[in-house]
Structure 1
Amino acid sequence: MHHPQVGDSLDELDTPSMIVDLTLMEENIDRLMQRFREKKIHVRPHLKTVKSPELARRLLAAGAVGGCVAKVSEAEVMAQEGIDDLLITTEIVGKPKLSRLVTLIQHHPRIKVVIDSFIGAQELNTALHEAQLEIDVLIDLNVGQNRCGVLPGKEALTLAHYCSKLPHLHLVGVQGYEGHLQHIHSPEERTQRCHQAMRLLTETAAQLRFEGFPIEVVTTGGTGTAEICADYGGITEVQPGSFIFMDTDYRNALGPTYANALTILSTVISRPTPTRAVIDAGLKSLSIDSGMPEPKGLPGIEYQPGGDEHGILTWTKIADPAQAHLEVGDRIELIPSHIDTTVNLHDHYYAYRDGMLEAIWPVAARGKVQ
């Protein structure tokens, strides 16, 4: 069996495979970093998108100050590879998770976490007390997403005062993620609602400072809103992740700001009727939680999953079905609708330039959901 190697042609890759156009990816990274360098805002990319220490290193080399991860298990994978200036953006609750965190902090003291409850803060403090360790924490604020987070203002202040009595926690900042605004198509509405969220975040940071808390980090922003956030006074860092590869959901909201650099390469395995082709990429290769992936460069042709392993292409919108020149054995690329959940289905990135494989990166944090 031939294992793909650097130097191979893309034509030699088996399908389905997750392929990355390095030229486009590098342009995406440069474009984003340049924009925030000009705004003097730190970029702490969310690594739950790439799940790869190799790609994290590329982002750091381009100017990122560190990384975000969603889970302790992702932090373990990154820290093992020497990437340990990390913010874990999800609350850490329960003895098994806390004991893993404590082990991690022993070797990687720069890791920071978020809290949004008395119980969560108390249990974190207890776990650290037993190990005689300390940790930097951020208060997670609900700025409108209605997921995790305390309410801005009084609730946040109460939690901060509670936190100040816990000797193993050092409050250094606030996090407020406006995930509900990432994919709003109207730039005016997205900007206006983002400003509302930023006002809640920055006003709470100011109130906390007024009461004597050393709030250094005010962190927020995804690919869809990071630039709007960065222009709002009082924000110190942003957490975009998807910009590196993009997907159709973000492209439809943002337009051509960043290029679709990642696609799933697939093969036509059946051509049963004049208006249907079947490919070898189904639900186990492409996520559909944000809609259907898009066949690249094939206008009028639509994809839908045909089960775990099959994808069905139809072209009802093409006036003359015979124009759909898809034959058994043809290879097509699909642009994912949601990058994070699609990446998590694959073991490797096959990165290419000019049709030749230049790098193969394992998706090292694949399946790290704990």
Structure 2
Amino acid sequence: MMINKIGTNLKDIETPELIIDLDILDANVNTVSKAYSDSHLKMRAHTKNLKSPYLARKQVEAGGSNGGVCTAKVSEAEVMVEGGFDNILIANQVVSDDKIERLCSLAKFADMKVGIDNIDNLNNLSKFAIKHNVILGVLVEINTSMFRCGVRSSDHAVELAKRAVDLEGISFKGVMSHQSIKGYTTEEERWKIGEEYLDICLESKRAIEEAGMDVEIVSTGETFTFDIVLKYPEITEVQGGTYALMDLNYPYMPFDIAVKVLSTIVDIDDDKITIDAGNKCIAAPNNATPLIEGVKSDLVEMGLDYSIHKILDNKKYTIGDKVYLLTTHEDGLMNRWDKFVGIRKEIIEGSWDILGRGCHH
């Protein structure tokens, strides 16, 4: 049931509600589209963030895209194939037999690619690809900064690439990496860190080529390096996710926050306000604090269905006023909700199911 109907004004929306400002979303997407449309590289939208074929389609249709998407899980890939996408990279390792079976089933309907970082997994992918009479594309994942998955040396990357080339049912496509940044003090430092990480990935790419193999795809970069990658002619695609909706972790990037939780003030106690949005509504991992948009505030307490915030400036509220709550982790936020409401100029334009939420497998 849709409580908040098309045409409803923001002031009349029942809360709490997950809101995406479609004008901000379009502006964010267009920033990347303009950067990549005439470039050698293209965006491959990472849908672990968006969790919505509708939102992913908006990114592709804006331009500057290779028409494909990334996912983190096989179940997310299933959602995207059902949503009409036929060019998918699972930017992760798929290792259990049941998940590989499902991956092979998807390969009958879409160009499926997956990350690899060890021989045993690669051999198993080949075994199931032969069984299902499909071809699985593989990209050697290079560890650059995460120390989560990925090979730690160029020699290991070359070894995996050679094995992939020899295996039946496997198509060696290239290399991939994902980087993270915990903040920076200057724009110069952002570029320095970004270049260091990207160079690590390209070092393995060049080693593979020197060993006599073609590298068709170099899939790397993300929101914090979306502009840095443009200086590298060897990079073919960027795994960008956060930029479309954004969160509080990227205040230094040329994107604005499009996804927010609309909440109503239900109590006021001196300089503290209680709102009807709590842990069930908002994602705040690693004790990161969600913020109220437009004012200086401190989180006092976060319950399941409420939160208390201390207002640090002279902003005055009355009970019933609505505020936006901003998150530090927009992909976690999207996973909290079954649907989102899209608005333009404070009027509801539509409501869309978040089909990729809860895709753990």
Q: TM-score range by the shorter chain?
A: over 0.9
Is 1:353 matched with 2:358? Answer: no
Counterpart of 1:285? 281
Q: Could you tell me whether the CA contact under 8 Å between 2:292 and 2:323 is conserved in 1?
A: yes
Structure 1, residues 302-343: CA drift from partner, whole Å, max 9, x if none?
23542211111112x33xxxx442222111111211111111
Distance 1:2 1:37, change over 3 A: closer
Counterpart of 2:106? 104
The 10-residue stretch of structure 1 (37-46 or 240-249) with the greater mean CA deviation from structure 2? 37-46
Q: Which amino acid aligns with 2:118?
A: S
Q: Which amino acid aligns with 2:206?
A: A
Structure 1, residues 177-213: CA drift from partner, whole Å, max 9, x if none?
112x264343222211221222221122122122222
Distance 1:147 1:5, change over 3 A: same
Unaligned runs of 5+ in 2: none
Q: Which amino acid aligns with 1:331?
A: K
Q: Which amino acid aligns with 1:263?
A: K
Q: Could you tell me whether the CA contact under 8 Å between 2:291 and 2:299 is conserved in 1?
A: yes
Structure 1, residues 337-368: CA drift from partner, whole Å, max 9, x if none?
11111111111111111211112111110010
The within-5 A match list for 1:1-370 is 3-63=3-63, 64-65=65-66, 66-108=68-110, 110-179=111-180, 181=181, 183-251=183-251, 254-255=252-253, 257-271=254-268, 273-289=269-285, 291-298=288-295, 300-315=296-311, 317-318=312-313, 323-370=314-361
Q: Could you tell me whether the CA contact under 8 Å between 1:305 and 1:311 is conserved in 2?
A: yes
Q: Distance in 2 between the 1:128 and 1:182 partners?
A: 39
Q: Distance in 2 between the 1:117 and 1:184 partners?
A: 33
Structure 1, residues 113-154: CA drift from partner, whole Å, max 9, x if none?
111111110111111111121111111111232110012311
| 3-state SS in 2 of match to 1:61 | helix
Q: Could you tell me whether the CA contact under 8 Å between 1:183 and 1:224 is conserved in 2?
A: no
Displacement after TM superposition at 1:226 (Å): 2.0
How many matched pairs?
A: 358
Please give the root-mean-square deviation of Cα atoms over the aligned residues, in Å: 1.7
Displacement after TM superposition at 1:2 (Å): 6.5
Q: Could you tell me whether the CA contact under 8 Å between 1:75 and 1:84 is conserved in 2?
A: no
TM-score by length of 2: 0.94
TM-score by length of 1: 0.92
Q: Distance in 2 between the 1:183 and 1:83 partners?
A: 33
Q: Distance in 1 between the 2:300 and 2:247 partners?
A: 16
Unaligned runs of 5+ in 1: none
Q: Which amino acid aligns with 1:68?
A: C
Displacement after TM superposition at 1:158 (Å): 1.1
Q: Distance in 1 between the 2:300 and 2:41 partners?
A: 40
| 3-state SS in 2 of match to 1:357 | strand
- Aligned sequence identity (%): 29
